[in-house]
Each structure stands twice: as structure tokens, then as C-alpha cells.
Structure 1
């Protein structure tokens, strides 16, 4: 069977069958590897059982259990988005542009509008409402806004560090098996060679430098570290420190400063100067900002009207994100089905030999 033709839109039944078989193989092998670490496996089972039992038993502990489950789910959401960002959701698009960046921008605009960062919790972070009795001369600082989004940003950065592990382990396994490192020939060869030399010569601080700045070539750093058998904790520690602490604080400050209310007004004024579509885009953005500001004031009489209006921009963004996620899931199904097809081909080749 032609492996490249094994996709959902050409051979849906066969693709789904092979996907299920490959997924069961991966899950089984993963469980076998986990069982090799008996203490870790036992700890995970006990934590899951303890959480399930405490969740279903009534008592004074229920509010704490609910809060812990919600917090872990919220943290896991951002870690998962970070992992998805490393793989680009199958399209090379980072989830920072779709989720974390807008979240930071939303909190920033709300803090400037409310003149405070002490949002009532709950409903924050799912819904932002201005706190009551804020002094008219109150101001909010960048550090207060940073403290609100610090945990989400660092968890997202840690997720991107986890997403860099597959290239590292693949290159390490290839080196241990005796295979040579493979590098594609492209216009970025000079940058790749620079990253290789930096990681090879400087070690921990070279990896930290590559992970601390937006660097599209960092995947090669993981491959290089795996190929040269750099210790796991040296690679992973530098990657987490660079991505979750240094780089995330740089990106976070940039978004907070960029979405200062006065700067946003200047940006909208520049957009309105664009020919033909400028006035329409400017009006749409102003309406979007007005709607969001109205939602921040719980007792504002215009809030129900703002909730019912909606914008074309937000609707298009939701459809785009949904289409991208569907494409990502379809690409995973196709990739696993093709992997199982190659697995069958290797078995047949060994039998013929």
C-alpha cells in the first residue's frame, strides 16, 4: 500500500483502522515503560484514586477539592497549549498568538480600564469584572499586571520546553544506534551551524541563550544536544529556565506595554488611515473594545446590549481556531495510520529476508 495515499479523504476506513491499531500499540508500550518505574506508577495511581474518592465523598473538604481540581485543570490547559505550540498545531502556528497573547492583552486592557488589578476571584480568570470602590485617582502598574499572568505564562513556557523533548530523544536514540545526524539543506544552514557550534562549545549556557530568545532554529538545538549526548537534565533544565522564565517575561512585558490604552488608541488611528478598508477596520476595533469594556462593569446598563452585539472579527477568529484544531487532529490520525502502515511493511520485509 502506498503510505502517502493513506489519508482520511482518500481511504477513510483503512486510515481509521490503522490509526486505532497504532494508537493501541503506542498506549501499550507507554504503559509498559511506565510500569518499569514502579514507584512513579504507584504514586500516579494513588493520586488519581485519592482524588476520585475525595471528589465523590461529601464533607467539609469539598470546596478545597473543587478548587484543587479546577486549578490543576487550568494549569494543565496552559501546559498543553505550550506543548501544542512547540509542534505548531500541525501548521507551524504558535498558540501564543491564539491564546496566551490575547489572554495577557485582555488582562492588560481590563486593568487599565478598571484602574486596578484586584479582580474579584471568582469569576476571574474566566470572566473579568472591575472591583468595586476603586478610588478615582487609582493607578495600576506593569508589575501588578505581570503578577496576574505570571503563572499562565510560565506554565505555557514550561509546556513549550516539554515539546522540545521529542527531537532531543530522537536524535539521542539515533546517535546511540549508530545513525548519523541528518540536516536538511536550506537557506538557514548558516544559522543552524551557528546554533550547533554554540550548543557544542558553550553547553548549558549556550542552550539557555538559544531558549531565552524567540528562535525558530531551537529545534536544531534539541537535535544537536541529543546527537552529542548532552545530559538530559542539562538540556531540559536550560530549556525550561530559558523558555519559562527568561523568554516568557520578555514576551509578557512586550504585550503589556503594547496594549497600553494610549498605544492602542494610536494603533487604531493608524489603522483608520489605511485606504478603503481602514475606516471599516477602525470602527470594528473600536466597537470590539467598547464591548469588552462594557463587560468589565457588572452594573453597567449597557453591558447586556454589548453582550448581544458580538463582532465579525471574533466570529472569524473562533472559526479559524476550530478549523486549525480539526486540521491538527486529522494530521495526527493520518500520521499514526501511516506509521502503522510502515510498521507492517517492515515486518513483511523481515519475513522475506
Structure 2
């Protein structure tokens, strides 16, 4: 009897346990339901200010973790940076025989930054950026080629940075050929000799175009959560839309190889920004994307563009190419008859390209009148697609931040339940 009396209090507590646990389970279920509703409502259309605030908090949190990690683990990096800054400041603000070398180094820095920034300005903006190849790089290469052909020599530059820079024209542009000396090449200047003299600035411009493709990649990468990357290989049974999206992700991951990205980056492609977005959204590794983009844009694409400009502006080389093309296609039936007209059109295109004074087009719109053109339509569509993609990334990032806060709240609730469940047993 005594044993029964001793057991009854424990039995009574055990009998109360399921009711308490059931109530707590209901509380957790309601909390999770509330969390799901909050996540669903958190969009730029329904809660724009809250979504933007959570997005900024997520970015600040991520940046804080990155900087704290660098400060904790990168002590050697801090020492190197401080040493470089101190040395550079000492060289800049002290007099001595090193001043000439410092000024030379500053010219190289300006030269590199100028062409890289022009490249970034060309590729950024989803195909609607500043076309700096047409405005700066192509005219520079064309003018140098024409000058080299006129003077019969390629040693025109006083230094590698003697190019078109901000508020500065190259020194060789207005000089007479006699100032450079007698012609070295009496007939045809080798193509490689001209290419060597303009290839450095062309590569720097290409590096800038590759760097300009990184913002879409990182922007879409920020909106792709780790859970989404881990769930790519998971079975999908949620219906046709989810299954289609899952298959599209699998296709992109399997087909966006290094060679495909390299091919897309090696040709003029205004939609490459969206290729970068897809690579970031679906977890293509950064170095795989960037190296393929860098090689494609800074080496292959630039080489094709520069070769075209040099060939077009070098009358000697152009005549050789023209003769070779006529000879090669003269054996093709039906092509030989149209070659003269095709060559004439190419020469006309060259004359227009090299003409310093182009007549104003009669189709220019009247000032103040809206001009609907293909370029305007294209840029509008591109920017609408980009804005929609950015909104989705901001929403996804904000929801990820909210989901993290909700998980912390759930963990805190579970800890309270464990503590409340342990108190009766301890009593």
C-alpha cells in the first residue's frame, strides 16, 4: 500500500505530462504557422519597407561576419596592407631621387585604372552600358594603326601609357613622321608589330569588361540560399511547376561548363549578364565563372576585336586580305560573281569608319519628340528583366534573414519547453 501511495504522485505527474506536452505542441504549431504566414507576406509588393530593411540587415550581418573573420584570422593581411600604405605614403611625401620613378609608377597606375574602368563601364548595365570600345579603344587602335602605316614604323609611343587618357591625348598623334625618323618598314608593317603596341590597353579594357560581369553574378548568388543549393539533387514531387524548375536547374548545372561560359564570353553577347545571373543563382563556382569570363573577354574577344580594327585601318594588310579572299572564294561556284560588289561594300564601310566628319543623319528625331527605336525597346526590356530579378533576390535575401530569426525563436521556445518539463521532475 505504501508503495502504491508513493507511486501515485509520479503517476499523477505522468498523467499531466501528455496534456502539457500537447499544449506545448499546439503552441509550437501555431508559432510555426505564424512564421510561415509572415514569410509569405514578406515581399516587395506587400511589405516593401520591411523587406528592404531585412535585406539591408542581412547584408550588414554578412559583411560584419566577413570583416570579423578577416580581422581575426588575417593578421598577416593587416600587416601587409599597413606596410604598403606606409611605404607608399613615405615615397609620395618625401623628396629624393625616387620622385621620377614614383611619377612613372603613377602614370602606369592611371593608365591601368583608366582602361579597366572603361571596360567596366562597357559591360555593366545589362547591355545598355557605355560603349567604350566604339568611343575609346577602337578609335585609339585605329589612329595608331593609321599613324604607323603613314610613318612606316611602330615605335611611336614615348611609353606604354602614351595612349588616350582622361583629358589627355597621346603625344604621337599630332607629331610629324619625320620626328620619329625614317621609315623602318618600306612595304607592309607586320600585323604582330602593331598588335604588340596596342595589346596591353586592349587586355586591360577586356579585364574591365570581365569585372563588369561580376555584379550580376554576386547579386544572384546572394539570393540563392544554401538550402536551395543542397536541394538540387533531392526528389521533387510538388507538381509540374516545381518539377520543371528542378529540371531546369539540373540542366543549367550540367551544361554551364567552363567551355560553355568561355564560348559565351568570347563573342559579342549582350545577354551575358543573364548568363552570369544564372551561374550565380544555380551555384556555379566563382572561379569557374570568373576565369572563363576573364579568358573569353580579356584575351579571345579582345583579340578578335583588335584584329578587325587593325585589319580595317591598315590599307596594306587590307589589300592582302582582300586578294586572299578573292583568290580563295574564286573557286566557289556562284560566289565569284558577287565578290566585286562585296569588296566594294567593305571598302565603303571602311571609308565611313575612318571618316572624321560624318554627315548628320536625316532620320534624327526632332528635339523634344519621343523617338521609338529598337535600342530603346531593347534597353527597356533588359532593365525590366533586371529589376524583376533584383526584386526577387532582395525578397529571397530578406526572407532568409527572417527565417534565421524565426529559427532562433523556435530554438528559444524549445529550450523553454525543456526547462518547464524538467522542473516537475526535479521537484
Whole-angstrom distance in 2 between the partners of 1:199 and 1:208: 15
Residue 294 of structure 2: aligned partner? 240
Whole-angstrom distance in 2 between the partners of 1:71 and 1:43: 22
Whole-angstrom distance in 2 between the partners of 1:227 and 1:81: 27
Could you state the TM-score of these two structures normalised by the residue count of structure 2? 0.50
Whole-angstrom distance in 1 between the partners of 2:253 and 2:228: 20
Cα displacement (A) at 1:50: 2.0
Paired residues, number? 260
Whole-angstrom distance in 2 between the partners of 1:146 and 1:71: 19
Could you state the TM-score of these two structures normalised by the residue count of structure 1? 0.59
Residue 141 of structure 1: aligned partner? 190
Whole-angstrom distance in 1 between the partners of 2:121 and 2:309: 21
1:52 aligns with 2:89: yes
Q: 1:35 to 1:61 in 2, by over 3 A?
A: farther
Cα displacement (A) at 1:63: 1.5
1:127 aligns with 2:165: no
Equivalences for residues 196-345 of structure 1 within 5 A: 200-261=254-315, 270=348, 288=356
Whole-angstrom distance in 1 between the partners of 2:194 and 2:217: 35
More moved, 106-115 vs 117-126: 117-126
Whole-angstrom distance in 2 between the partners of 1:211 and 1:116: 34
Residue 54 of structure 2: aligned partner? none
Cα displacement (A) at 1:245: 0.8
Contact 1:157–1:248 (Cα < 8 Å) also in 2 = yes
Contact 1:199–1:224 (Cα < 8 Å) also in 2 = no
Q: 1:48 to 1:73 in 2, by over 3 A?
A: farther
Cα displacement (A) at 1:153: 0.6
Whole-angstrom distance in 2 between the partners of 1:73 and 1:89: 27
Cα displacement (A) at 1:285: 6.7
Q: 1:94 to 1:160 in 2, by over 3 A?
A: same
Counterpart among 119, 122, 136 of residue 82 in structure 1? 119
Residue 216 of structure 2: aligned partner? 167
Counterpart among 94, 99, 110 of residue 62 in structure 1? 99
More moved, 240-249 vs 171-180: 171-180
Contact 1:35–1:41 (Cα < 8 Å) also in 2 = no
Contact 2:217–2:279 (Cα < 8 Å) also in 1 = yes
Residue 146 of structure 2: aligned partner? 109
C-alpha distance after superposition, 1:3-29 (max 9, x if no partner): 9xxxxxxxxxxxxxxxxxxxxxx99x9
Cα displacement (A) at 1:230: 1.3
Residue 150 of structure 1: aligned partner? 199
Q: Where do 5+ consecutive residues of structure 2 fail to align?
A: 1-43, 45-58, 164-169, 230-247, 320-343, 361-386, 403-427
Whole-angstrom distance in 2 between the partners of 1:54 and 1:35: 31
C-alpha distance after superposition, 1:206-255 (max 9, x if no partner): 11111111112211221121122111111111111111111111111011
More moved, 226-235 vs 196-205: 196-205
Whole-angstrom distance in 2 between the partners of 1:92 and 1:50: 37
Q: 1:81 to 1:34 in 2, by over 3 A?
A: farther
C-alpha distance after superposition, 1:258-307 (max 9, x if no partner): 1124669x7898489xxxxxxxx98x976x49xxxxxxxxxxxxxxxxxx
SS at match of 1:132: coil
Cα displacement (A) at 1:62: 1.5
Report the RMSD for the aligned CA atoms in angstroms: 4.6
Contact 1:105–1:255 (Cα < 8 Å) also in 2 = yes
